Amino acid sequence: MTEVTVIGGGLAGCEAAWALAERGFGVKLYEMKPKKFSPAHHYDGLAELVCSNSLKASRINSACGMLKAEMRMLGSIILEAADNSSVPAGGALAVNREAFSDYVTNKIRSHENITLLSEEITKFPKRNTVIATGPLTSDAMAEAIQERCGSPLSFYDAAAPIVSADSLDMTKAFYATRYDKGEADYINCPMNKEEYERFYEELVNAETVPLKEFERLNVYEGCMPVEVLAKRGAKSLCYGCMKPVGLTDPNTGRRPWAAVQLRKENTEGSAYNLVGFQTNLKFPEQKRVFRMIPGLENAEFLRYGVMHRNTFLNSPELLNNRFMLKESDGVYFAGQMTGVEGYIESAMSGIVAGQSLARRLKGQERLNLPKTTMCGALCSYVAAENADFQPMGANMGMLPPLEEHIKDKQVRYMRIAERGIDDMKKAMETRE
């Protein structure tokens, strides 16, 4: 049996290991936990979700919904785990973090072709390896990658706080989803104009954890701390994470001026995270400011928000559209380090890297996914020439337009998704 190596037991690493093992390869999967933890990781299991517990929208005519449909066709173990550990989240796919991690860990450990090794790898591999060490790659491995590939870029992202459900004041907060779509899985904390303005002033003037200069210059747009976003303008939050559209406050019968949404963290519904409230505020400041939100006056914080380092490669110069390091002997990268942004996107890159390595070792035709698929579009983005390369998540703007003009956006997106899924089916039939 041919042996291959996967470094990193996050979403991408687990997908890569699974893809290779399912194709008959002996896989050594290296994960430095529990011997060593990154600053943002705390759970012993594989595929730990560090920031949100949401894997985003499920509907097929959304970018992430389309991506999930394609990944299921490719045999995603991460989505299998998500389906088996899901918690109510309206139109999104959200999971119980620990149950999700435990499911993946048990599947990996029980696969006859996978050997899980708790060990930190500090040297750059020579061949037949998928590097999926993630945006929080250990210093030693980061140095090894930098020496081989050139200077990596760094950015910082943040996680939102989590509060206890039984500490919320439900006389002020209410269950609802926007426009009453799906089940009422979100808790909504409404604000009137005066409440919002007081909250805003305290938020933008609250004390943050000091950052070094290079950290301040490299905050990634998609994970912008709520206090940083707020400083862009007094109404910035009303058009962002606190937008009140599609909500009616049952206590007033009117749409609130602003609203904070809370999403379930676990199946029991005992913990909720503040959606969009990733933050770098000091812990006492988080408690003081976020308790100004109606319904959260006595909130018990199960976890405060934190900010941590992320690292990614200049992939257009280094990788091809199958995530293989150019001019290497079968060394692939996977995960957010490649410049795909998001849980599902990272997992997708692990599937592509794992299947690509398998096909390379078997002497089969190279894996090339159509650009009309979300998988193919993301792969193309990572490899396309780009002088100002930045991480990118799945979005409909990445896909080629339809030949016909369709004014209705949802109808248009559905046609785009159907086209992509059909093209994925054809590509898979051709490969087989």
Least confident of 189-193, 265-269, 282-286, 318-322: 265-269
Instruction: Provide the pLDDT confidence category of residue 34 given band limits of 50, 70 and 90.
Output: confident
* Amino acid code (one letter) for 406: I
Pairwise CA distance, residues 38 & 310, whole Å: 11
- Name the 3-class secondary structure at 6: strand
Strand 271-274 relative to strand 258-264: parallel, antiparallel, unpaired? Answer: antiparallel
Cα 334 from Cα 332, distance rounded (Å): 7
360-390 exposure pattern, b = at least 16 Cβ within 10 A, e = fewer: bbeeeeebebbbbbbbbbbbbbbbeeeeebe
What is the rounded average pLDDT of the residues 341-362?
Answer: 96
Element (H, E) at 410: helix 409-431
- Residue 327 reports pLDDT greater than 50: yes
Instruction: List the alpha helices (DSSP H) in 74-192.
Output: 77-83, 97-110, 139-149
Burial code (b: 16+ CB inside 10 Å, e: under 16) for 326-336 equals eebebbbbbbb
CB of 238 closer than 8 Å to CB of 258: yes
- Residue pair 53/265 in contact by the 8 Å Cβ criterion: yes
What is the model's pLDDT at position 211?
A: 64
Select the more confidently predicted residue: 89 or 311.
89
pLDDT value of residue 214: 42
Nearest 10 degrees: Cα torsion 188, 193, 195, 200: 90
Residue 303: its H or E element: strand 301-303
Distance of CA 149 to the CA centre of its chain: 25
Do the beta carbons of residue 64 and residue 375 sit within 8 Å? no
Rounded mean pLDDT, 380-394: 86
Give the model's confidence band at 212: pLDDT under 50 very low, under 70 low, under 90 confident, else very high.
low
Q: Assess whether pLDDT exceeds 90 at residue 182.
A: no
Which structure tokens are listed for 168? 């919320």
Least confident of 150-159, 194-203, 357-366: 150-159
222 pLDDT more than 80: no
Q: What is the pLDDT of residues 143-155, one digit of tens each?
A: 999 999 886 556 6
Taking 80 as the threshold, does the pLDDT of residue 242 lie above it? yes
- pLDDT at 137 (0 to 100): 87
Find residue 27's DSSP bridge partners. 4, 114
| Cβ density class 99-109: b for 16+ within 10 Å, e for less | bbbbbbbebbe
Tell me the DSSP string of 196-227. Answer: HHHHHHHHHTS-B----HHHHTTB-GGG--HH
From CA 257, how far away is CA 180, in angstroms rounded? 18
Residue 423 confidence (pLDDT) = 96
Residue 306 has pLDDT above 60, yes or no: yes
At 422, list the tokens.
């059909």
Q: What percent of the chain has pLDDT over 70?
A: 94
What H or E segment, with its residue span, contains residue 308?
strand 307-312
Q: Is the peptide bond before 88 cis (omega within 30 degrees of 0)?
A: no
- Predicted pLDDT of residue 96: 95
Going along the chain from its start, the domains and CATH numbers come out as: 3-155+310-431 (3.50.50.60), 162-305 (2.40.30.260)
Spatial distance between the Cα atoms of 156 and 138, rounded to a whole number of angstroms = 15
Place of tokens 């088996």: 84
Counting beta carbons within 10 angstroms of the beta carbon of residue 214, is it exposed (0 to 12), middle (13 to 18) or buried (19 or more)?
exposed
The two three-digit tokens of residue 414, written as one number: 């559905």
Task: Provide the pLDDT confidence category of residue 391 given band limits of 50, 70 and 90.
Answer: confident
pLDDT tens sequence across 37-80: 776 677 889 999 987 899 999 999 999 999 999 999 999 999 99
Average pLDDT over residues 348-352: 98
Question: Is 48:100 a contact under the CB 8 Å cutoff?
Answer: no
pLDDT digits (tens, 9 = 90+) for 245-285: 999 999 999 999 999 999 988 777 888 999 999 999 999 99
Q: How many CB atoms lie within 10 A of CB 153?
A: 16
Task: Count other C-beta atoms under 10 Å from residue 349's C-beta.
Answer: 32
pLDDT mean across residues, the chain: 91
- Cβ atoms of 200 and 230 within 8 Å: the answer is yes
pLDDT level of residue 178 (50, 70, 90 thresholds) = confident
